[in-house]
Amino acid sequence: MQAEAFKKRNRPECGVVATGYLAKRIFLNFGFHRVHTMKVTFISTTILICLTLFASSCSNHTTASLTTDQAATVKQGAQEMMDSISHDITTKGPMAWLQYFANSPDFSMASDGRLEFQNYDSAQYFISHVLVKMKKINLHWSNIRIDPLTNTLASVGSDFHEDITTSDQKTTPYDGYFTGIAECSPKGWQLRNAHWSVKKGK
């Protein structure tokens, strides 16, 4: 009887054991959940900060690299190049193109998604042997768009209308969109690359 009374006095009550065990599990689960949540929050915050800094860097790249005056100078130079191209091609003929193509292996020109000139030499050959046979070319730009990239580079884009007259006096009109990268070289502003997209006939 004494032994049983001793065991009874020293045996934890079931309610106490259950409550202590439950409290322990709740504490552990809560602690784990809290640590896990803190980790997720930290990682999410870090990613958000990185994305924000990256977006800010991208959006301010042009502003940070060029002052307002520099951007205006680049835009003016590229605009004058586009105006000169239209004037010279119309008044001097297709050979005038060569002074506006960068004499560099990096030069290229495409038309309707197809690479026509892979370098300056191929452009020079075509203009000198084929395009020069055209009697007259009238080229006009409209809605010119210029985006300064650096102090020596600019992206250009424009609608164009072109009337090409062959030696047999037949004139064919072309309309489309022109894009290119203009570069300020020792010879002035020239096209580093170009692409012509011609509208299909109705």
pLDDT at 202: 54
Q: Where are the beta strands (DSSP E) in 4-134?
A: 108-111, 114-117
Q: Mean pLDDT across the chain, nearest whole number?
A: 80
Q: What is the pLDDT of residue 200?
A: 85
Q: What is the DSSP letter of 16?
A: H
Q: What is the pLDDT of residues 124-160, one digit of tens each?
A: 999 999 998 898 999 999 999 999 999 999 999 999 9
Residue 66, both tokens: 């060029």
pLDDT in the model for residue 105: 85
What's the CA dihedral at 77, 85, 109, 78 to 10 degrees? 10
Query: Which residues contact residue 50 at a Cβ distance below 8 angstroms, ignoring those fewer than 6 apart?
Result: none
Q: Which residues of the chain fall below pLDDT 70?
A: 1-64, 202
pTM of the predicted model, to two decimals?
0.68
Give the per-residue pLDDT at 170.
93
Q: With b meaning 16 or more CB within 10 Å and e meaning fewer, what string describes 62-89?
A: eeeebeeeebeebeebbbebbeebbebb
What pLDDT, on the 0 to 100 scale, is given for residue 51? 55
Residue-level pLDDT at 15: 40
- Tell me the residue length of the chain: 202
